[in-house]
Amino acid sequence: MDRDTVVRSSGGVAVGVTMAAILLATLLSPAFRWTGNALSNLGVTQSAAGTSLTVLLFNGGLVLGGAVGLVFSVVLARSLPTFGGRAVGVLFGLAMLAMAAIGVFPQDRPLHFPVAVGFYLLLSLALWADGVVSLRRGWRRRAVAGLALGTVNVFGWVAWGLTGSLRRPGLALPEIVGALALSVWAVWVSAGLVRGRWRGPSKA
């Protein structure tokens, strides 16, 4: 495997590491329930769902995934050498910084809430931006993927907010919807770049 392949794979690796760490933490937690907890409960021992091991997995996975995701943000910017492409790279990079910051500032820290909100907002903005740029270049499938998955994240939060208090038990549900939307997009785009797609105007 050459260096370019490894670098282009960084998007899939970033979300893979993060999701694996989060899901493993949920399995190892003594009290985590999808309908009763926020994912961030895994990152603090003050919560019944959190232990020293889940704290290490959850926060460490976010930080490591965010760091690898920054590499992919550079890949995105370089693969689309236009102003729009650079904007996609910047937005994705900011989303990855916010994701890492969730691990650096866990639930018991004052900055946790703003960085978590920032992550989910930047997630959709990055995917929508990629969708718009891809549409302009004729990459219809990539455009649909970015626009649709960015909207799935927002819809998950809107549906949650419309059905009760935003911070009620079970916050893990809209959180995992957004995380899965990002993961699907990052893995698919990363795999496409590894295969040499999207190097010029295309109907793909």
Per-residue pLDDT reduced to its tens digit, 15-69? 999 999 999 999 999 999 999 999 999 999 999 999 999 999 999 999 999 999 9
Give the Cα-Cα-Cα angle 186, 188, 193 (nearest 5 degrees).
Answer: 90
> With bands split at pLDDT 50, 70 and 90, how would you rate the model's confidence at 199?
low
> With bands split at pLDDT 50, 70 and 90, how would you rate the model's confidence at 105?
very high
What's the pLDDT score for residue 173?
Answer: 97
CA dist 146 and 62 (Å) reads 22
Q: Are 171 and 38 in contact (CB under 8 A)?
A: yes
Give pTM, 2 decimals. 0.94
